[in-house]
Structure 1
Amino acid sequence: MGKQSVAVIGAGAVGLATLKNLLEEDFDVTAYDKRQSIGGVWDFNENINYTSTLPATTSNVSKFKNCFTDFPIPDDMPVYLTSSQVHEYLQSYATQFDLYRHIRLNTMVRKVVRSADNAKWQLHLSSENGNEVIDYDKVVFCSGLTALSHIPEIRGIQLFKGKVLHSQAFKRPTDFAKMKVLVVGLGNSAVDTCTQLVGHAEKIYVSHRHGINIFPRICKGQPLDFHIRRRDEDLKHALTAVVPSLSQKLHDSYVQKLTTESFDLDPAWRIHPPPSILTHQPTITDSFINCLQDGSVASVVGIRCFVGDNCVELDDGSRIEADAVILCTGYVPDFNLMHGLDVTSSSTISNVSYGSPFPRLYQNIFSPEYPESIAFLNNWAATVAVFPIGDLASMAIAQVWKGAFSLPSKEEMHREIDAHHSWLCSLAKGETVYPGIIQEGPWMHWLHDAAGTGVNENLGYGFKGWFFWLRNPQFCNLLMGGLASVHVFRLFNGRRKKWDEAKAAILRANENAKLYINVK
C-alpha cells in the first residue's frame, strides 16, 4: 500500500520531535512552518503576531530535563540555556537526524479540510510560490501552546489612548523607555516582562488578582528541577489515585514551602497565598522579587476599568496613570485551522476556561471522530518539561497510527473525556483553569504504555520491576532516586526505537549534575 503520508504543522521543538519519531516508524512526513526558521518560540521574531522568547530570555528548566530523549544538550552549555542556545540546540537536533529535507519553511497552513470522498485531509497552503492544496492521510498539529493569545475584555478600554498589547507583541523593552507601564498578570511572561522593562520604563506596575508559586532557578543549592525524583513522583501519583484531596494538600504545602524558603515575601505584594499548583503553572524567576523589594516594580491589585486617556482604575478603587498596558494573560489552544471538525463541540460548556468549551480530545491528543488520522500536540500543560513530553507524546502517536497500540472505542473515549472535564471543573473553585491541564500521573503512564517505552513495567512494582531491580540494584536506585533523566524514555526494549547510548547518557547526566549541587 506504500507509506502513509503525514503532515506536521509547526517546526518548533514538539514539531521536530514529532517529525523525527514518525520518520523512524516509516511514515512519509512533511513538516510545515510559517516562520523562516525552525525552533518556534525559541527563534526570536520581530513579528508581533508570532510568540517568541526575547534575546535576554533564559530557559526555566535545566538542560538535564528540557532535552530530547536521545539527544543530550552538550556538556559545555550552561545548566540553564539562553534562548539563542536553545535555538542552536534545536538546529543541531534537526541536523543530527536529517530533518531539514522534510521541512517546508515560510509556508502558511491556512486551513485543513476533509476531502470530498472522506479519505484524505487537504492542507491549503500559502507560500512565496503561491497557493496550493496537498492531500495527506494524517495530520499532527504542533502549532505550540502559545500560538493564540488570550485577551480579556476590560471595561472602558476604548477610552485609553496609550499602548495596549498582549505579551505576544512585546519584543523590545527599549520601546517603552520613559513610560509608565502596567503589566497585567503574574505568570512567567509577566515577571519576565517586568524585569526586562527595568532600566527602560519610568515606572512599572504589575497588576494581579491572585498569588503564585514562585521559585528561583537555583533552589536550596541546586537547580529547581533536581528536586523532582522519580520515586517521589510515583509516591505522589499513587497517593493522588487513592486520596486526591490529601495529595493536593501535601503537594501544595511542599511547593509553597519552597517559595517561602527561597524568598522573603512581603505580604503587601500578595504573592501568597497562591492557587494550587494543579491549576496554575509555577513562575520561575531570579530577579523579580528583588525588583519588588527595591521598588523598581510595584505590585497592585487587578484592573477594574479604564477611565480616561491614560488612567486605569483598580479593584480597590485607586487609580494609576499609565502610558502602556501589557496583557500577560496567557494563551488558549488554537483549533482554528480545522474546518468542518469542531473539536470543542460539547454540552459541557465551562465558565472556568476563558469562557470557552473544553476541547473534546482523548488524552488531550486524539479527536474521537478521527483518532486514526488527527492528533493535537498543542493542548496540554504539565510540570514536566515540554521537549521530552513532546518527544514521548509523538512516540505514542506513532505507535497508535502504525497499529501497534489500540485506542478504546469512540464511546469509551467520550466517556473518559467527560470524566476528565468533570475533574477540570472540580479544580476551578472560582479560578480560571487552563483547558489543557492533565492529570499528570495517569497521563504520563498512558503515554509510556502507548509509546511502548517499558518504563512503567521496568520501574514499576510488578514482577518485571522487581526483576530489573534485582539484576541492576545500583542503577535502578539511581533511576528512582537520582536525577530524573529523560533518557530513561529510550532505555528499555520496547515498541518505540531504543537508544543504545541511553544508559551511558543517564550515568553521565547524573555525574555532571553533581557540578550544580550546592551552588549559589
Structure 2
Amino acid sequence: MSEFSNIKIAIVGAGPAGMTALKEFRSLGYDVTVFEKKDDVGGVWNWSENTDATTALKETKLCNNKYSVTLGDYPVPKDFPWVVSAPVLGQYLRSYAHHYTLHSNIEFNKTVTSLSRDHQTKKWLLHLSDESHPRSFDKIAWATGCFVQPKTLTLPNEHIFTGEIVHSSRARDIASFKGKNVIVLGIGNTAADITSALVQHGAGEVYFSHRRGAKIISPVDAKGLPTDLMLSTGMVPITWFMQKYCLGFYGWVMDQALVKNFTDAWGAPAKEWNLEGPSLKHGQHVVVCSTDLVPNIKSGRVSSVPGIKRIAGPRSVEFDDGQAVENIDAIIMCIGYQDDLSLLDEAIEFAPAEKGAPRLPKLYMNMFPPKYHDSFAYLSLTHLLGPQIPGRELVGLALPQIWAGRSPLPSVEVMNEWIVKHQSWIRGRIANATPNGNGYQEVDNGDWSYFMHESAGTGLYEVCLLFFLQSQILEKGWKWLTEMQYIGWGAKAWGLWWKDRELYRAVSNFPISTYTFRLFDMRKRKPYNGAREAVLEAYKDIVESQKLEGKKTK
C-alpha cells in the first residue's frame, strides 16, 4: 500500500492538465477522482452540444504542430496530420484516456457548484449540482481551463434587432448559417475560425468587424510545414531571456518576425483592411493565427469592417465609420472568455480590482494560494508563449511531485513576495493593452518554466541547458553567432553530448513538446520508457519533411 493511499484528491476538469495530473497522482498511489462537466475527456477539444460548456469548433485547426499539441507518453504515428484539427485532437485525447484506463477514476456529466472549507476537519467540500450532500477531499486540483465564462456585451439598440445575436460559445453548427448574411464581431482566433467556417459552409455576405488590428500569422510556412517548428527547445530560452532583460528589443524582434510571416504568406496588407495590429509596449502582441482569413479578405469573400457603432434597424447595422449594412441575419459575438473564479473565494485570496482591471488572484506561480498551498492548486490559469498543451502537461507532472514532498515550495513569505512583484508586473501589462484573455493569466515565461521543470523533474534544463556553445561550434562552426542560438554550459550537457550525440542533437533542435519532458531520470518521476525512441523518430520525421517540402518549393 502506498503512503499516499489514504489521501483523497479531487481534480476538477478532464482536459490535458487534469488527465496528466490524474495519471501522475494515481501512479503515486493517491485516491483520485476527476469530475468532468462534459460526457468525455478532452476539455474544449471534446466537441459537445452542451452550450453551457465551451467547445472548439469542428472546423478549428490548431496553430501548432502535431508534436506540440500531443502528450509525451503517447506518441502519435508518423502519418498523423502536421496541422491538427479540433476533432482529431479530441479523438487523440480520448484514445490516451482509454490507453491508460483513466476513465475508471473519472465521473462525467458532473458540474461543480461550489467549493467550501471545513475548518474543523481541514477538508475541502466539493458541491455537485446533482448531489444533495458535498463530497469531502483532502486536496483539490482545479483544471477547468481558461475558456470558462463567455464575456458579455450589449450593443446600442440591440433590442430592435430581429436577427440572431449569439456568442461564439453557443455557435455550434456553422453550417446552419448557409446563405445568411453574418457579422462576426471581434478579432481573435475564434473570430478568424468562425469567419473561415462561414465561408466554407456557404454563408452569404460575411463581415469581419473589429476596432483594433492584430498581428495575423499563418500557421504554415512557405514549405507547407508548421511555422512553430522554429520554436525549438533551445530557441525558446532566448525569448525568455529577452523578455526579462531586453524587453524593447524583444518587442522589435517579434514585430519583425510577425510582419515577415504575414508578407511571406500573403504579401503586404491593404490599408483599408485595418488588420495591422499596434506595436505595444512590454513586448505584447495580439496575435491571430489563421490560414484562410487573409485570403478570404483579399478575394472579397469577407469584408473587413470597423467595429459596430449601433443597431440601426431591425436588420441594419451601422459601423464606427458611419457605413451601414442591411439585411443582416446574424451577429456572432467573438469577444472572448473569462475565468470563472467565483467558486474559489474560500480557496484563493484576491487583490482588489484597480481602474477597471479584474481583481487579481493571489497565487504563487499562478497556481498555489500561499494559505492552502499544500491542499489547493489551480492547474490552468497560465498563458505561455507558444503552444499551451505542453504547459498544461507540465503542471500536471509538477503538482504530484510537489504535494508528495519531492519538490518543495518556498516559504509562505517568499511566495507572498513573489505574488506582490508579479501583480505589479501584470498590472502594467493589463494597463498597456486589452489582452484577449483576463491579463492575469500571463507569467514570466522563463521563471515559470524553470520552476515547473525543476518541480516536475524533467531534467531538461539541468541535463541539456539547451543549444549549448559547444554544439554550435562543433556542429556548425562559428556561423552560430549569426543564428541567435542559445549559449549554455554544463557538465551534464557535455555528458549527454558525449554519450548520446544523436539524442543530444534531436533534443536541442526539437520544437516545444512534452516528448522531451519524460526523457531523463532525475529520481522523481519515472521516465517514459519509449521517450528516447519517440524523440528520435519525431525529429527524423521533422528533418525528412523539411527536406521533402524544401525540394518541392525549389
Please indicate, yes or no, whether the TM-score normalized by the shorter chain is above 0.5: yes
Q: Secondary structure at the match of 1:64?
A: helix
Q: 1:270 aligns with which of 271, 274, 281?
A: 274
Q: Does 1:155 align with 2:156?
A: yes
**Identical residues among aligned pairs (%):** 28
In structure 2, the residue matched to 1:324 is 330
Q: Does 1:438 align with 2:443?
A: yes
Q: Which has the higher helix share?
A: 2
| 1:14/1:386 contact within 8 Å kept | no
CA change 1:454–1:146 in 2 (3 A) is: same
> What 5-or-longer segments of structure 2 have no aligned partner?
466-488
Q: 1:509 aligns with which of 538, 543, 552?
A: 538
Q: CA RMSD in A?
A: 2.2
CA change 1:239–1:87 in 2 (3 A) is: closer
- Looking at structure 1, the residues matched to 433 and 156 of structure 2 have their Cα atoms a distance apart, in angstroms, of 20
- Looking at structure 2, the residues matched to 325 and 491 of structure 1 have their Cα atoms a distance apart, in angstroms, of 49
| 1:333/1:378 contact within 8 Å kept | no
| 1:17/1:391 contact within 8 Å kept | yes
Q: Which amino acid aligns with 1:309?
A: P
In structure 2, the residue matched to 1:379 is 381
Q: CA offsets, 1:300-334, max 9 Å, x none?
A: 11223334333333222333333321111111112
- Looking at structure 2, the residues matched to 281 and 393 of structure 1 have their Cα atoms a distance apart, in angstroms, of 25
Q: Secondary structure at the match of 2:244?
A: helix
In structure 1, the residue matched to 2:482 is none
Q: Secondary structure at the match of 1:100?
A: helix
- Looking at structure 1, the residues matched to 277 and 342 of structure 2 have their Cα atoms a distance apart, in angstroms, of 36
In structure 1, the residue matched to 2:89 is 86
Q: Which amino acid aligns with 1:467?
A: G
Q: Does 1:302 align with 2:307?
A: yes
Q: 1:478 aligns with which of 492, 497, 506?
A: 506
Q: Which amino acid aligns with 1:423?
A: W
- Looking at structure 2, the residues matched to 388 and 83 of structure 1 have their Cα atoms a distance apart, in angstroms, of 16
- Looking at structure 1, the residues matched to 98 and 284 of structure 2 have their Cα atoms a distance apart, in angstroms, of 37
Q: Secondary structure at the match of 2:68?
A: coil
- Looking at structure 1, the residues matched to 351 and 511 of structure 2 have their Cα atoms a distance apart, in angstroms, of 41
Deviates more, 1:161-170 or 1:384-393: 384-393
In structure 2, the residue matched to 1:77 is 80
Q: Secondary structure at the match of 1:29?
A: strand
Q: 2:117 aligns with which of 109, 114, 117?
A: 114
Using the TM superposition, give the Cα deviation of residue 402 of structure 1 relative to its aligned residue in structure 2, in angstroms: 0.8
| 1:212/1:275 contact within 8 Å kept | no
Q: Which amino acid aligns with 1:174?
A: A
> What 5-or-longer segments of structure 1 have no aligned partner?
none
| 1:349/1:358 contact within 8 Å kept | no
In structure 2, the residue matched to 1:35 is 38
Q: CA offsets, 1:70-93, max 9 Å, x none?
A: 111222322223322212211111
Q: Secondary structure at the match of 1:405?
A: coil
Deviates more, 1:470-479 or 1:28-37: 470-479
Using the TM superposition, give the Cα deviation of residue 6 of structure 1 relative to its aligned residue in structure 2, in angstroms: 0.7
- Looking at structure 1, the residues matched to 278 and 500 of structure 2 have their Cα atoms a distance apart, in angstroms, of 42
Using the TM superposition, give the Cα deviation of residue 244 of structure 1 relative to its aligned residue in structure 2, in angstroms: 2.1
Q: Which amino acid aligns with 1:437?
A: E
CA change 1:82–1:18 in 2 (3 A) is: same
- Looking at structure 1, the residues matched to 242 and 44 of structure 2 have their Cα atoms a distance apart, in angstroms, of 36
Using the TM superposition, give the Cα deviation of residue 429 of structure 1 relative to its aligned residue in structure 2, in angstroms: 5.6
Q: 1:61 aligns with which of 57, 61, 64?
A: 64
- Looking at structure 2, the residues matched to 275 and 158 of structure 1 have their Cα atoms a distance apart, in angstroms, of 37
In structure 1, the residue matched to 2:422 is 420
Using the TM superposition, give the Cα deviation of residue 280 of structure 1 relative to its aligned residue in structure 2, in angstroms: 4.5
In structure 1, the residue matched to 2:220 is 218
- Looking at structure 2, the residues matched to 243 and 117 of structure 1 have their Cα atoms a distance apart, in angstroms, of 50
CA change 1:289–1:374 in 2 (3 A) is: same
Deviates more, 1:18-27 or 1:99-108: 18-27
Using the TM superposition, give the Cα deviation of residue 94 of structure 1 relative to its aligned residue in structure 2, in angstroms: 0.8
Q: Does 1:397 align with 2:426?
A: no
| 2:185/2:210 contact within 8 Å kept | yes
- Looking at structure 2, the residues matched to 233 and 90 of structure 1 have their Cα atoms a distance apart, in angstroms, of 26
Using the TM superposition, give the Cα deviation of residue 206 of structure 1 relative to its aligned residue in structure 2, in angstroms: 0.9
CA change 1:244–1:430 in 2 (3 A) is: closer
| 2:14/2:34 contact within 8 Å kept | yes
Q: Secondary structure at the match of 1:59?
A: strand
CA change 1:375–1:294 in 2 (3 A) is: same
| 1:60/1:80 contact within 8 Å kept | yes
How many equivalent residue pairs?
514
In structure 2, the residue matched to 1:15 is 18
Using the TM superposition, give the Cα deviation of residue 492 of structure 1 relative to its aligned residue in structure 2, in angstroms: 1.0
Deviates more, 1:161-170 or 1:79-88: 79-88
| 1:18/1:390 contact within 8 Å kept | no
Deviates more, 1:385-394 or 1:275-284: 275-284
- Looking at structure 2, the residues matched to 459 and 26 of structure 1 have their Cα atoms a distance apart, in angstroms, of 31
Q: 2:457 aligns with which of 452, 474, 484?
A: 452
In structure 1, the residue matched to 2:245 is 242
Q: Does 1:4 align with 2:7?
A: yes
| 1:350/1:425 contact within 8 Å kept | no
- Looking at structure 2, the residues matched to 347 and 123 of structure 1 have their Cα atoms a distance apart, in angstroms, of 26
Q: Secondary structure at the match of 1:183?
A: strand
Using the TM superposition, give the Cα deviation of residue 26 of structure 1 relative to its aligned residue in structure 2, in angstroms: 2.1
Q: Does 1:47 align with 2:58?
A: no
